[in-house]
């Protein structure tokens, strides 16, 4: 079996409302590039890649010259073929490798008649639990609905999502407003959802001293962990010395070199593995094995996903013995999906691991057409800019906070 063709299609799927984060905003939509790797015996494997509000079609077209004729089972060779560690100094293709690895695993599962998780060691669980991903949100520019800015809006939106999807863990995405205001919101969430687990993530925009202040202030709450309060292993280590809450990261431990550094001089307690950032599902399984050896915690990170990427997270979550936290997903903020059957369903805060061969998801061609047309019409968006604050540039550590009293609507094309 050989790779015969690689196709890439960028799609835009609307979100319920624009999602605000420390570095900017998802402008009411996700742009994802869907990869189809076709073999000479007619199998089609699926991959997916995100990016900062941009298409990645061109880079996948360029990979055809490397991979046509390649055996999709030779995954380790593919790693060195397109993401050689020293060549990567010039062309970092870690995320591209990830999307191609997803597609090749999908092909192998179909060829061998087994789900991807059975290739990865076999499932330990049939369902992967997820957390509510609680964002500050601008109102939907079309309907005016869905704003999350005040404490009451945050609690009511979370309550509605908990009712609909069954979540018992809630992750608050901060770094948007002054940390004192976000601390108020977090405390109100803890009071509103007693018995539920909480986690907070300001995307590494605080000073170390601010991280310590916030961390100490939440010590009595039911925290899973405090995620990336500050940028850099040294700031995390200084914070960890002063705060009795586990620290987590998806930012400063995203490869094996950094994981080794963290083992030798621990700065982070919980490693959030991301099938894209680490360069594939298999790299995440390997990283989780290192974490198991050194008794570090593991959770599954979300860098934004449609159904193909979500399937990679489910197969990963199914096989990790040391997955001791609910996974993150942006998925419940989407209004649709490109896979057959539409959006995967949550049951009791969890999603079933697909049973079909390979990743277990297939493209809905009508939806692909609809959402690729939407991509052509709306184009890219600057993920690292805030549509409500033109010209704003966040710094690290940041002190250029948004104003929680500012309720002006934002203009975003849709």
Q: Which residues contact Mg ion by CB under 5 A?
A: 201, 227, 250
**Strand bridging mode 44-49 / 29-39:** antiparallel
Beta carbon of residue 328, minimum distance to Mg ion (angstroms, whole number): 8
Beta carbon of residue 201, minimum distance to Mg ion (angstroms, whole number): 4
Beta carbon of residue 247, minimum distance to Mg ion (angstroms, whole number): 12
Rounded CA-CA distance 32/35 in Å is: 10
Rounded CA-CA distance 363/337 in Å is: 9
Of the two residues 186 and 371, which places its CB atom closer to Mg ion in the complex? 186
Residue 12 backbone dihedrals phi, psi, to 5 degrees: -120, 120
How many Cβ atoms from other residues are within 10 Å of residue 402's Cβ?
19
Beta carbon of residue 249, minimum distance to Mg ion (angstroms, whole number): 7
Beta carbon of residue 251, minimum distance to Mg ion (angstroms, whole number): 6
Beta carbon of residue 388, minimum distance to Mg ion (angstroms, whole number): 22
Of the two residues 23 and 55, which places its CB atom closer to Mg ion in the complex? 23
Beta carbon of residue 22, minimum distance to Mg ion (angstroms, whole number): 9
Of the two residues 127 and 237, which places its CB atom closer to Mg ion in the complex? 237
Of the two residues 9 and 250, which places its CB atom closer to Mg ion in the complex? 250
Query: Residue for token digits 């900017």?
Result: 24
Omega before residue 397 within 30° of 0, cis: yes
Of the two residues 133 and 177, which places its CB atom closer to Mg ion in the complex? 133
Cα–Cα nearest to 119, from 353, 359, 339:
359
Per DSSP, the residues of 66-98 read HHTT--TT-HHHHHHHHH-TTGGGTS--HHHHH
Rounded CA-CA distance 412/59 in Å is: 28
Of the two residues 157 and 302, which places its CB atom closer to Mg ion in the complex? 302
Of the two residues 83 and 327, which places its CB atom closer to Mg ion in the complex? 327
Give the rounded distance of the alpha carbon of 21 from its chain centre. 13
E strand spans, 315-399: 346-347, 350-352
Rounded CA-CA distance 298/181 in Å is: 29
């Amino acid at each position: 079996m050989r790779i015969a063709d690689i196709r890439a299609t960028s799609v835009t799927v609307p979100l319920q409302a624009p999602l605000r984060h420390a570095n900017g905003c998802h402008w009411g939509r996700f742009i994802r590039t869907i990869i189809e790797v076709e073999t000479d015996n007619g199998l089609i494997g699926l991959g997916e890649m995100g990016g900062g509000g941009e298409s990645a079609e061109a880079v996948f077209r360029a990979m055809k010259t490397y991979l046509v004729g390649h055996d999709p089972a030779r995954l380790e060779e593919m790693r060195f073929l397109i993401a050689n560690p020293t060549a990567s100094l010039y062309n970092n293709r870690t995320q591209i490798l990830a999307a191609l690895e997803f597609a090749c695993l999908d092909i192998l599962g179909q060829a061998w008649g087994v789900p991807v998780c059975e290739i990865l060691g076999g499932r330990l669980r049939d369902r992967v639990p997820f957390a509510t991903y609680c964002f500050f949100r601008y109102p939907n520019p079309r309907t005016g609905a869905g704003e999350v800015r005040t404490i009451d809006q945050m609690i009511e939106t979370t309550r509605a999502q908990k009712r609909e999807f069954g979540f018992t863990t809630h992750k608050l995405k901060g770094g948007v407003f002054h940390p004192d205001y976000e601390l108020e919101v977090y405390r109100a969430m803890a009071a509103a959802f007693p018995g539920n687990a909480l986690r907070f993530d300001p995307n590494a925009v605080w000073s170390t001293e601010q991280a310590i202040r916030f961390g100490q202030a939440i010590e009595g709450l039911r925290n899973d962990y405090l995620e990336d309060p500050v940028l850099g292993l040294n700031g995390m280590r200084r914070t960890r010395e002063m705060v009795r809450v586990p620290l987590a990261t998806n930012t400063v431990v995203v490869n094996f070199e950094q994981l080794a550094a963290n083992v030798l001089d621990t700065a982070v307690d919980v490693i959030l593995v991301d099938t894209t950032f680490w360069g594939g599902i298999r790299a995440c399984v390997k990283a989780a094995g290192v974490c198991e050896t050194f008794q570090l915690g593991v959770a599954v990170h979300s860098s934004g996903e449609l159904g193909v990427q979500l399937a990679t997270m489910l197969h990963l979550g199914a096989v990790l013995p040391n997955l001791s936290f609910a996974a993150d997903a942006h998925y419940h903020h989407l209004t649709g999906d490109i896979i057959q059957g539409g959006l995967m369903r949550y049951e009791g805060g969890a999603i079933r691991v697909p049973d079909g061969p390979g990743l277990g998801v297939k493209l809905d061609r009508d939806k692909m057409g609809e959402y690729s047309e939407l991509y052509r019409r709306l184009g890219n968006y600057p993920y690292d800019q805030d549509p409500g604050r033109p010209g704003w540039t966040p710094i690290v550590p940041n002190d250029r906070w948004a104003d929680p009293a500012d309720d002006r609507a934002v203009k975003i094309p849709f």
